[in-house]
Chains A and B, each alone.
Chain A
């Protein structure tokens, strides 16, 4: 079974990551890729800077992976988050889950990206094309999405 966690400056190869999960005997693989936007609040973005808490970040991602593996019947989970200075269009995050059944893979993928946004110590700063920069504020919608998964019964927003 694949259980891959990575925090890295370099880009990831989504095709290779998906192939690794599919080669694990899965019936299906679901994934989510987060990409740097070209604008924020109507202003053109030059770059996004991603900072994290080394050590705690990896532990937090591993915990989320273990929670997904305990909650659904999965054959594999991969979580990769980039840090450093990223340009519009570049990859930020890769989340994938493999299972014998599509519903489990899709639910686990949604769970992992929703929880990652509130439970892993990453911080984003936006650098605008005009030279200004600001730290991104946390969004209440992200907290609500993560909180929905914390309820025990039903296990998830869609009963999964």
Chain B
């Protein structure tokens, strides 16, 4: 699975994207984030407050409790602020 980070999540984790093999139980964005938070202090800081985090699976916005299924690309980011 390719995991992408944008905006301050990229800054806190220190990485824009990484190829990972999460365990089967990390099957929702929230569960995946909890697993990712264990990768190090930067990741832990990025996922410290899930209320500030949004997610896309295979480039579609998804709820943090949605089932990820066989998504190949999951992105975490703050609420969008374009326009």
Q: Which residues of B contact A (CB under 8 A)?
A: 4, 6-8, 56, 59-61, 75, 77-83
Question: Residue A123 at the B interface, CB < 8 A?
Answer: yes
**Are A52 and B59 in contact (CB-based, < 8 A)?**
no
Q: Which residues in window 50-76 of A have CB below 8 A to B? A: 50-53, 55-56, 59
Q: Is A118 located at the chain interface by the 8 A CB criterion?
A: yes
- The dominant DSSP class at the A interface is mixed
Point out residues on A near B: beta carbons under 8 Å: 34, 50-53, 55-56, 59, 81, 92-93, 113, 116-125, 135-138, 142
Cβ B83 vs Cβ A53 within 8 A: no
Q: Which of B60, B61, B78 sits near A135, CB closer than 8 Å? A: B78
Q: Chain B binding site: helix, strand, loop or mixed by DSSP?
A: loop
The answer to whether A122 and B59 touch across the interface, beta carbons within 8 angstroms, is: no
- Distance A116 CA – B82 CA, assembled complex (angstroms): 7
Is there contact, CB below 8 Å, between B7 and A51?
A: yes
* Contacts A121-B6, A121-B77, A135-B8; A55 near B82 (Cβ below 8 A): no
Q: Which residues of B contact A119 (CB under 8 A)?
A: 61, 80
**What is the minimal beta-carbon distance from A61 to any residue of chain B, in angstroms?**
10
Known contacts: A51-B7, A53-B6. The answer to whether A34 contacts B80 by CB under 8 A is no
Contact A124 B82 (CB under 8 A): yes
Find B78's partner among A59, A117, A123 (CB 8 Å cutoff).
A123
How long is the Cα–Cα vector from A52 to B77 in the complex, in angstroms?
10
